[in-house]
Structure 1
Amino acid sequence: MPGHDERLVPTTGIPGGHAGAGEVRVMTRREIHARPPRPWRRWAVLGAVAALVVVVGGSVVAAWRLNANIDRVDVSSGIGTDRPGAGGGGDVNILLIGSDTREGAGNDAYGDNDGSTGDAHSDTNLLVHLSADRTSATVVSIPRDSMTPAPPECSATAPREEWVVRQWNANYGMGGTGCLIRTLEGNTGVFVDHYAVVDFRGFKQMVDALGGVQVCTSEPIDDPKTHLQLAAGRHTLDGRQALQYVRVRKSVGDGSDLGRIERQQAFLSSVMQEATSTQLLLQPNRLYSFLDAATRSLTTDPDFGVGTMRDLASSVKGIGLDEIRFVTVPHEEYAPDPNRVQWTASADEVWSALREDRPVGGAKQRPGASPSPSPSPLRVAPDEVSVHVVNASGTPGLARQARAALEVQGFVVEPTTNGPTVTEPVVVEYSGENAEAARTAAAAFPGATVAKATGLGDTVRVTLGQGAPAVVEVENRLGSEPVPSPSITSSPAPGTVQTRQADTDICS
């Protein structure tokens, strides 16, 4: 947990996004405040609360009780009115906060506070972005030791040019959730629709309601602050152990908060995998136990109640774990203090992706281009698709490897060629009326961008750039011979934002 230290220095030369300008609406749903929060796994809150009426039987009494459990606090006065414009396309941004508060029954029993005293700090900060079409979700971890411009004394009216540089996790203790959101929006231009906070006790109870969560550690843990002891390997942790695990820092790895963020992301992935594999939403007793624990621990903005959570959860129920991505804000050492970090120029790739409602790390949309693959069934069989693979990755042998993996599935692959190095991982181009053929080819390359070109005839051109993924099976492939395992990989372009999918093995 962080100390109560903060730094006030001129903002000149400090990277980290930009203040978003835009019209601001009066809030009801956008209002916000502070209280003990939680470094949690929001998906079961959204996914679980969704089922509240459907699975719990639509009980008015049950819904009333769950809704009454939630504390609501309006923090609009702390955010101010000079906010970024709210997204109008239906995408939603939710700020999830975990604090180190010791207030509240049971919260003083979970380890020390690294010697810090006074106000609570936002020990964990997760910004969850739900795409407008509800086909993907991005969870952005903001390092608590980030040094960014912030409003002086958490002023809701101070103009951006008067902001000072302060450690990120001090904003919550100084001015509550309102100050934290004002700082986030001012540095990123991303509008925050809702917030939710959970305390230590609530986190513990939610994990217990799940029946425990599995974690994987590559080294033994013997942490004197949280008192957690684990041998290397896989373990199923109860609520108390899980809380200790996500708080461990100095005794594991390099002892940094950044290492802890990686463990927390793997933990959240494990929670989602557990909720999915055990079909939590289809077990009324376990579901209600979880919902009761979750809602009794929540503090939210006035409009983020059970009804809103249920509607959001219903809208995202089709998102697979492979479409939920975790990313940490790109950062580097903060020169005045090597124990702190500052955001790099690559951080704006994260914020611009959220503002433009596209996957983080995905290529910016060209005119007439679209992400691939589409969720609708593929209409053209591989043996009807003629593919020309161009190696523009700078990695020898990548196109030949892709050719073999395509041919085994029935694609007709022309001789490969090389091209100048490009940073977009995969671009699939077609001419004329061959959009469906291009979609079939693009389905073999996760995250590919499809674009219309001229002069290609009936050939679909696949350009492999830096960071190009290995070929995967398409749903309508021909034959049964396994797709060859890749032996050649292409590194992403320097500065490319790295992500982790929720279905990634927890030991990786």
Structure 2
Amino acid sequence: MRDDRRGTSRSDRREARLRRRARTRRRGLVGAVLVIALVATLAVFTGLHLNDNIGRFDIASGSDDRPEDIDQDLNILVIGSDTREGIGTDEYGTKIEDGPNSDTNLLVHISADRESAQVVSIPRDSMTMAPSDCADPSSTVVNGEMRQWNANFNKGGPACVVKTLEGLTGIFVDHVAVVDFSGFQSMVDGLGGVEVCLPQPVDDPDAQISLPAGRQTLDGHDALGYVRMRKTLGTGSDLERIERQQAFMSSVAQEATRSSLLLRPDRLYAFLDAATSSMTADEDLGLRKMLSIARSVKGLDMDELTFVTVPTEPYPADSNRVQWEQPAADALWSAVRDDTLLPGQAEKQGTGAEPELTVAPSEIVVKVHNDTRSPGLATQEASSLDVQGFQASVVNESPTGQTEGVTVTYAKGEAAAARTVAAAYDGAKLKVDEELPVGTVRVSLGLGAPNAQEVPNREGDAPLPEGTVQAPPAPTQIETRTADEDICG
């Protein structure tokens, strides 16, 4: 039957509709492919652009004998250069005599388990031993000269700072990033400003800022003046300025979290473009590596990001300079090197809910190592673990007396077993070692290590041996602050 109103059959009209729908689907498919191709092209272009922004240098230059990189922790040295180039103003001067210095020096330590991070500020006025000629592999801190810390950058660039730091501390530096004044300003503006808190009004012509007291949000220009000013607050010391810089970095972390920076492509790109445009870095620290590091710490809470300054004391030869205070500085560097809690950090961690212990003590082989030079400590602690069901024994190694607290080391995949062992020691630090035999957990007892206590899932009811042997006390605790602390506190 034909449809006289249209002059075509129903089947003809149905076929025409199907053909139109097919064309529409094809156009939609082509459009989707074009959109995907465009997004992919933009992503690749953006990645290449941001990577191309970054200048490069070799951090191992002049260093034939570097510390071993044996852990999965990360140590990233961040250097703030005081070069004025590119800031669009001559307010801070247009030329630096004899080249730039390192205005800010931060060692960012990210633990192997990615559950904590520390930012260690190194005072720019510190007097330490340093290689006389950083480009000469035979020139080291041992046969070097006494030099102010910020002069290392001026004398031999980032590689000289790395060589000096590694020589003094034994810490392997994985990556280095250098950011100048221009980059700092642009990054703050990329965040939309950063909140600070001033205890009193400031009017600092040298820093080019005039600010009221109280809580306020600063743009890049004023933020640069805030972190650099010295003479108008307190005694004008570099150590007091470091305290303000640490408070400012806490505020940056809070702002990035509060504004969900990672979920805002426009702001994230502006921030990354600003950061990379003014950054020089080692050859391995590209955008992909940066994103990989960022993803690995995405679960880090603000109270797990800690700021600390290398302990110092007056430098006898010059009252305007400082030197690292021993043994407190040694304890700090030891904690970073061994990926353990900072001195005094365990006491600030609080008493949150402990994870459930899922591995029975009798299933765990424990090797106990005494690093305190207190005879009999490892034997005593092995006995305390043994009566609870652990298969515990003593490791016969020469103690160094350099570590602090208790470190529980475990092979990859043995985290649950390590947690059961760590439950015996308050403040114990967990650490992964892929070279450790599977099925073995190692307990290292350092300065200030507590004696073992009962674990919740212990086996047997025999009492623990009396703790007659005590670890020597740890050095003076180091003052720290966490990123979640109120900036006005």
State the TM-score bracket (shorter-chain normalisation). 0.5 to 0.7
Q: Does 1:61 align with 2:42?
A: no
Over alpha carbons, which structure has the higher Rg?
2
Partner of 2:80: 98
1:310 to 278, 291, 294: 291
1:213 to 180, 194, 197: 194
Partner of 1:243: 224
2:251 to 270, 273, 277: 270
1:189 to 170, 195, 217: 170
- Give aligned pairs, total: 362
1:257 to 231, 234, 238: 238
1:349 to 309, 313, 331: 331
* TM-score, with structure 2 as normaliser: 0.67
| SS of corresponding position for 2:142 | helix
Percent identical pairs in the alignment equals 51
Please give the alpha-carbon distance, in whole angstroms, between the structure 2 residues aligned to 1:149 and 1:200: 28
8 Å CA contact 2:91, 2:208 repeated in 1: no
Cα deviation for residue 436 of structure 1 reads: 7.1
Alignment of 1:96-175 (within 5 A): 96-102=78-84, 104-106=85-87, 109-112=90-93, 117-156=97-136, 157-175=138-156
Please give the alpha-carbon distance, in whole angstroms, between the structure 2 residues aligned to 1:161 and 1:425: 29
Partner of 1:17: none
Q: Do the aligned partners of residues 374 and 214 (structure 1) sit closer, same or farther apart at CA in structure 2, a change above 3 Å counting?
A: closer
Please give the alpha-carbon distance, in whole angstroms, between the structure 1 residues aligned to 2:189 and 2:463: 55
8 Å CA contact 1:204, 1:243 repeated in 2: yes
Partner of 1:74: 58
| SS of corresponding position for 1:267 | helix
In structure 2, what residue type is equivalent to 1:270? Answer: S
8 Å CA contact 1:204, 1:239 repeated in 2: yes
Q: Do the aligned partners of residues 162 and 228 (structure 1) sit closer, same or farther apart at CA in structure 2, a change above 3 Å counting?
A: same
Please give the alpha-carbon distance, in whole angstroms, between the structure 2 residues aligned to 1:458 and 1:64: 64
Partner of 2:157: 176
| SS of corresponding position for 2:232 | coil
| SS of corresponding position for 2:341 | coil
Partner of 1:85: 68
Cα deviation for residue 359 of structure 1 reads: 2.2
Partner of 2:313: 332
Please give the alpha-carbon distance, in whole angstroms, between the structure 1 residues aligned to 2:345 and 2:201: 40
Cα deviation for residue 497 of structure 1 reads: 1.0
Please give the alpha-carbon distance, in whole angstroms, between the structure 2 residues aligned to 1:231 and 1:362: 35
Q: Do the aligned partners of residues 452 and 63 (structure 1) sit closer, same or farther apart at CA in structure 2, a change above 3 Å counting?
A: same
| SS of corresponding position for 1:271 | helix
Please give the alpha-carbon distance, in whole angstroms, between the structure 1 residues aligned to 2:406 and 2:338: 20
Cα deviation for residue 174 of structure 1 reads: 1.1
Relative contact order (C-alpha < 8 Å, sep 6+): which is higher?
Answer: 1
In structure 1, what residue type is equivalent to 2:65? Answer: D
Cα deviation for residue 108 of structure 1 reads: 5.1
Question: CA offsets per residue over residues 311-332 of structure 1, 9 Å max, x none?
Answer: 1111111111101101100000
Cα deviation for residue 105 of structure 1 reads: 2.7
8 Å CA contact 1:361, 1:499 repeated in 2: no
In structure 1, what residue type is equivalent to 2:329? Answer: A
Please give the alpha-carbon distance, in whole angstroms, between the structure 2 residues aligned to 1:151 and 1:377: 47
2:304 to 312, 323, 327: 323
| SS of corresponding position for 1:109 | coil
8 Å CA contact 1:67, 1:295 repeated in 2: yes
Q: Does 1:504 align with 2:485?
A: yes
8 Å CA contact 2:343, 2:476 repeated in 1: no
Partner of 1:383: none
In structure 2, what residue type is equivalent to 1:286? Answer: R
8 Å CA contact 1:56, 1:288 repeated in 2: no
8 Å CA contact 1:110, 1:200 repeated in 2: no
Please give the alpha-carbon distance, in whole angstroms, between the structure 2 residues aligned to 1:99 and 1:505: 28
Cα deviation for residue 213 of structure 1 reads: 0.2
| SS of corresponding position for 1:503 | coil
Cα deviation for residue 111 of structure 1 reads: 1.7
Please give the alpha-carbon distance, in whole angstroms, between the structure 2 residues aligned to 1:247 and 1:228: 10
Q: Do the aligned partners of residues 264 and 174 (structure 1) sit closer, same or farther apart at CA in structure 2, a change above 3 Å counting?
A: same
8 Å CA contact 1:112, 1:225 repeated in 2: no
Cα deviation for residue 85 of structure 1 reads: 1.4
8 Å CA contact 2:115, 2:304 repeated in 1: yes
Please give the alpha-carbon distance, in whole angstroms, between the structure 2 residues aligned to 1:458 and 1:57: 68
| SS of corresponding position for 1:111 | coil
Gaps of 5+ in 1: 1-54, 365-370, 381-423, 428-432, 464-491
Please give the alpha-carbon distance, in whole angstroms, between the structure 2 residues aligned to 1:459 and 1:272: 47
Please give the alpha-carbon distance, in whole angstroms, between the structure 2 residues aligned to 1:297 and 1:136: 28
Q: Do the aligned partners of residues 459 and 291 (structure 1) sit closer, same or farther apart at CA in structure 2, a change above 3 Å counting?
A: farther
* TM-score, with structure 1 as normaliser: 0.64
Partner of 1:49: none
Please give the alpha-carbon distance, in whole angstroms, between the structure 2 residues aligned to 1:501 and 1:359: 13
In structure 2, what residue type is equivalent to 1:199? Answer: D
Please give the alpha-carbon distance, in whole angstroms, between the structure 1 residues aligned to 2:334 and 2:406: 20
Please give the alpha-carbon distance, in whole angstroms, between the structure 1 residues aligned to 2:90 and 2:111: 38
Alignment of 1:364-403 (within 5 A): 377-378=355-356
In structure 2, what residue type is equivalent to 1:119? Answer: G
